[in-house]
Structure 1
Amino acid sequence: MTTTTTLPPQRKARTASALIAALVLGTGLAVQAAEGLRPEVGKPLQAAQDLIKAQKFKEALAKVRDADAVSGKNAQESFTIERMRLAAASGAGDLNTATASLDALDKSGKLAQPEKLRYLESLAGSAYRAQDYAKTNQLGQRYYKEGGNSASVRTLLVQAQYLSGDYTGAAKALTSEVQASEKAGGPPSEASLKLLLSTASKLNDTDKYVYTVEKLLTYYPKKEYWGDLLSRLQRKPNFSEKFALDTYRLALATGSLRNANDYIEMAQLAAQAGYPAEGKQVLDKGYASGVLGSGPGAERQQRLRDLLTKRSSEDKAAQPGVEAQAIAAADGNALVKLGFNLALSGESAKGLSLMQQGLSKGGLAAAEASKLRYGIAQVLSGNTSQAHATFRTVTGTDGAAELARLWSLFARSKPSNAA
């Protein structure tokens, strides 16, 4: 899943037109009120102003040139000419001329800072509309260097970087934007996060992609984000296959199992791991949702369901003996596994108690996986507040810590049954 977020063309056009209109208003006032303009300068400038209001920008530029051709111009005349030229050139899409006029106005020392920022914002918008992304970046950076703080210019800058292929620069800017929003106590915009997601995809940066989807799930949780995130997570080079079933468990909990193959594979993995009751539950959910039970695989699906139903009954019958052996064992491995099995089967109170005993006994062959599953059992039983504490203790670089973080993220959307 990749999403590119850009300003709609109509919105871009309206934005640029509004900024140009502001320029026209400013220049109009300048012509009407400016002192020291001789008639041979003022008359063509007045005509240029009227042409700008009529959006005849190229004709306006010709009138500005007529005024500029007058010899012996004083400082006020030159200043007014350049300001009118800037407005006309901006409307005509002549960015080089408009930028040169802005530079001339700036050097004159007569241009007020707020007006300079307004011009820079307008020109950056015009450059973006003209798909001159290098110019957009140049003008946008200058705008902020001069003290501007418009969020719309920041959006133009980032999108210009993205559309020009500078995905690294766009990702850096968007990450800073996301962090700044969070630091200020507000959520980053979904549009910014979607654009960051797209840059991460373009860069093939799995870590950045996962980071961004996690942010989307934090602030704008949607089922499709979960499916994409879990798929990406399993493709990371350091992700261990031993956590495949735990990943499926999160996919099932978030409603993001995709098809019949996912349900069948999860059920088989559960059975292989010694959790036939869980496997049967997965298949039951697949049947209930209509994903399983029809089509060419229906007979095979039913055979698997019958097998897991039988094994679940056998497990339940053997439970007292298994529990006695687990309690007598020197380590906590069997207690953790039995407790998890019970928790998955609906006996959450007893299951969590046995898992806790196993964790306390120690000697675990896979301590981080055991803590992860204890947290999962807490989430599934509604003890989400305790689950957060458990997940924070999970470490490792093989996928356990990442899954713990994602399960904790999921748990935030669930009410807790315990104080």
Structure 2
Amino acid sequence: MTQFRFAHIGLLLAAIGLNTVPALFGAVPAAYAAGEQQTLRPEVGKPLQAAGELMKAHKYKEALAKVRETDAIGGKTPQETYTIERMRASIAAAAGDTAVAIKSFEYLLDSGKLAPAEQTKFTSALGAMYYQQKDYPKAISTWQRYFKEGGDDPKIRTLLNQTYYLAGDYPAAQKAIAGEVAAEEKAGQAPSEEQLQLLANIALKQNDKAAYVQSIEKLVAYYPKKEYWADLINRVQGKPGFSDRLTLDVYRLKMAIGQMKDANDYMEMAQLALQAGFPAEAVKVMEAGYKAGALGNGAEAERQKRLRDLANKQAADDQKTMAQGEAEAQKAKDGTALVNLGYAYVTAGQADKGLALMDQGIKKGNLKRPDDAKLHYGVAQLQAGKKSEGVQTLKSVQGNDGTADLARYWILQSNSKTS
């Protein structure tokens, strides 16, 4: 199971401005000195002026204490209360006293005195403070208000979606993120890795295996990291109805994306290729294993050498009989033998001849496993450098036994570079 992380909350909060909340208020002390002095009584104005000076000196604890002196003053006008709370919010936010800042922000947002642009910024910052306090329901309602009032910062949208998840509202999170991903893809844009990771997390929480695999497929498509590929391959092999006869096909995909892990992988794939009648493929697998340093050493070195020698011998013998095999395949009532022989030619380095035989076999029909034939034909076309033809062939694979899944993953592989 792939482990996912959220987008870094500190970076997102910094990006929306919470870490510089005092800037939202402008130069509050200067504003007081320039104009507020005319609307505030001295008993209110003096402690606020002192608080402003202390704030400039970064003495936030003392500044807050000065603001609190105004709490005991009776008969404050609405303008005085507004100015006090604006000063308190600025200082508390700068001091990191989130609980105090939240109360002041709530008052200011409900005061009706903020300009529309300020209202939006204050709302986004208040939502972030609720998030920091892990008050997720209030963070959600505040950010919903932000978007309702015209906010459009995508970073806030990311935080809101994460908060749905953290609050346990998985359906809302899934609906919101899936909608964003669909819109981005329609516009020709790549969804962010964090969006797709969150969708995968949500699917896991809801035990929705189909949605999880769909999310991993998108991660592989846009961010083809080895860990995503490994998760995807493991999932398809464990899928109900997946046929064991496709094990060699799984190994072929693993070879193509660099997922062969150890000597056992190379040995098993080579043995399966020999059993399937593709000795030239077995030779390539063994050579790849030796080149990777997975084979040729340790206690199993001699056994590995014997398999290598066997593959080379059978490949040489195969070359001598392929022409005869072609004549027999042409006489067969179905196209299975032609498809298999064609793939053998492709693995032996004769792509054009092999692809022609495979095409002939598929057109001949009466195939025992038509989806297997189309899967192998599409893979062979990709291996021969015929990407567009290969993709079209693979798109026609419809089997529900794992063939269609593997075909889809080969298409993903053809469009990506594993990192």
Q: Into which bin does the TM-score normalised by the smaller protein fall?
A: 0.7 to 0.9
Of the structure 1 ranges 57-66 and 287-296, higher mean CA displacement relative to structure 2 is found in: 57-66
Supply the distance in 2 between the matched residues of 1:59 and 1:13 (Cα, whole angstroms): 26
Supply the distance in 2 between the matched residues of 1:51 and 1:202 (Cα, whole angstroms): 49
Structural mapping, 1:16-415, within 5 Å: 18-25=19-26, 27-28=28-29, 30-32=31-33, 33-34=35-36, 35-162=38-165, 170-200=173-203, 205-413=208-416
Supply the distance in 2 between the matched residues of 1:281 and 1:302 (Cα, whole angstroms): 14
Aligned-pair Cα RMSD in Å: 2.9
Structure 2 unaligned spans of 5+: none
Supply the distance in 1 between the matched residues of 2:299 and 2:223 (Cα, whole angstroms): 38
Residues 14 and 153 of structure 1: is their aligned pair in 2 closer, same or farther, counting only changes over 3 Å?
closer
1:16, CA displacement in angstroms? 6.0
Supply the distance in 1 between the matched residues of 2:344 and 2:265 (Cα, whole angstroms): 21
- Once the two structures are aligned, what percentage of the paired residues are identical? 48
1:168, CA displacement in angstroms? 5.8
Of the structure 1 ranges 343-352 and 182-191, higher mean CA displacement relative to structure 2 is found in: 182-191
Per-residue CA shift, 1:330-354, capped at 9, x if unaligned? 1111111111111122111111111
Supply the distance in 1 between the matched residues of 2:318 and 2:358 (Cα, whole angstroms): 18
Number of the residue aligned with 1:2: 3
Letter of the aligned partner of 1:3 in structure 2?
A: F
SS of corresponding position for 2:26 = helix
Per-residue CA shift, 1:249-292, capped at 9, x if unaligned? 11111222111111111112212222222122111111122111
Residues 44 and 168 of structure 1: is their aligned pair in 2 closer, same or farther, counting only changes over 3 Å?
same
Letter of the aligned partner of 1:109 in structure 2?
A: G
Alignment check: 8 A CA contact 2:22 2:93 kept? no
SS of corresponding position for 1:387 = helix
Number of the residue aligned with 1:417: none
Supply the distance in 1 between the matched residues of 2:51 and 2:186 (Cα, whole angstroms): 48
Letter of the aligned partner of 1:302 in structure 2?
A: K
SS of corresponding position for 1:270 = helix
Alignment check: 8 A CA contact 1:224 1:256 kept? no
SS of corresponding position for 1:137 = helix
Residues 248 and 203 of structure 1: is their aligned pair in 2 closer, same or farther, counting only changes over 3 Å?
farther
Supply the distance in 2 between the matched residues of 1:193 and 1:161 (Cα, whole angstroms): 15
Supply the distance in 1 between the matched residues of 2:259 and 2:201 (Cα, whole angstroms): 21
Alignment check: 8 A CA contact 1:372 1:391 kept? yes
Per-residue CA shift, 1:55-85, capped at 9, x if unaligned? 4444434333332432222232222223223
Structure 1 unaligned spans of 5+: 415-419
1:95, CA displacement in angstroms? 4.5
Alignment check: 8 A CA contact 2:220 2:229 kept? yes
Residues 101 and 167 of structure 1: is their aligned pair in 2 closer, same or farther, counting only changes over 3 Å?
same
SS of corresponding position for 1:210 = helix
TM-score by length of 1: 0.87
Letter of the aligned partner of 1:87 in structure 2?
A: S
1:390, CA displacement in angstroms? 0.9
Per-residue CA shift, 1:141-184, capped at 9, x if unaligned? 33223321122222333444555666665554443333333233
Residues 101 and 12 of structure 1: is their aligned pair in 2 closer, same or farther, counting only changes over 3 Å?
closer
Letter of the aligned partner of 2:256 in structure 1?
A: A
Of the structure 1 ranges 163-172 and 317-326, higher mean CA displacement relative to structure 2 is found in: 163-172
Alignment check: 8 A CA contact 1:2 1:201 kept? no
Alignment check: 8 A CA contact 2:355 2:380 kept? yes
Supply the distance in 2 between the matched residues of 1:288 and 1:107 (Cα, whole angstroms): 70
Residues 114 and 47 of structure 1: is their aligned pair in 2 closer, same or farther, counting only changes over 3 Å?
same
